[in-house]
Amino acid sequence: MPGKERTYTIDGIELPSVTTILNIIDKPWLSAWQKKEMGAAIRTELLSTQLPEDEIKRIDVLDEIIKQAKKIPALIGKEAMSLGTKIHQAIEDYSLGKDVEITDDVKIGLASFKLWRQESGMTLLEAERVVYDKDLGYAGTADAIYEDNFGRKFIFDYKTSSSGIVSDSYALQVAAYAAAYPDVINGAYVLMLNKSGKPDFKIHNVNLFESFKAFASALELYKKIKGGNLWIQQN
């Protein structure tokens, strides 16, 4: 199963995380991005190489260029994940009134969040809230629970992006958190924050009913594959 598996231990029971479960879903936009980055890396290397033309045409040289290019998407993905984690931490610290180390790489993402907070008028109730459903068998961490002026509670998941791509799996993720939250949730949102360029944000309203049905299907598929018994043993 692709992706690193994360679990939570709740009352002695090990539960898979929501994001681990959702790794069961193929993400075609990710494959397209990986191919684009590999192609760009190969082009850059060919244009910048100091090797003579006859050397470049050698199979072993081309194979090495391609080999190194294949590593690029994973490296970029790792860097993006690390930056996303730093921005999330800065947002959490800022929201809780803690000192925030505003480095150049988190500056835009945090500014995008502040812009949304100023416009939202919502009050933070909880940050980094662990939620779980022992009966269905999953757990996760919701980025935040907010309350509006009418006392309604909303669950939020923050995403940082430069591309603006919004994966459908984001809706399933936050719907799973909302369903596992022990109190009534009146709505759920994915807050997309610019992390480069001009501070900005886009907020996406999640259809909780349909998104949770889709998550439940992914959860069932995850359990079937993890449970084995998919092959008939030959004598």
The CATH number linked to 123 is 3.90.320
What digits encode the pLDDT tens for the residues 61-119? 556 666 666 655 555 455 555 567 888 888 998 998 888 877 888 899 999 999 999 99
The reply to whether 158 falls in a domain is yes
The reply to whether 138 falls in a domain is yes
The reply to whether 150 falls in a domain is yes
The reply to whether 211 falls in a domain is yes
pLDDT of residue 79: 55
pLDDT at 1 over 50: no
The reply to whether 173 falls in a domain is yes
Domain count, the chain: 1
- Give the range of the structural domain holding residue 176, as residue numbers without chain letter: 26-226
The three-state (H, E, C) secondary structure of the chain, written as one string: CCCCCCEEEECCEEEEEHHHHHCCCCCHHHHHHHHHHHHHHHHHHHHHCCCCHHHHCCHHHHHHHHHHHHHHHHHHHHHHHHHHHHHHHHHHHHHCCCCCCCCHHHHHHHHHHHHHHHHHCCEEEEEEEEEEECCCCEEEEEEEEEECCCCCEEEEEEEEECCCCCCHHHHHHHHHHHHHCCCCCCEEEEEEEECCCCCCEEEEECCHHHHHHHHHHHHHHHHHHHHCCCCCCCC
pLDDT of residue 216: 97
The reply to whether 12 falls in a domain is no
Pick from 3-12, 38-47, 124-133 the range whose average pLDDT is largest.
Answer: 124-133
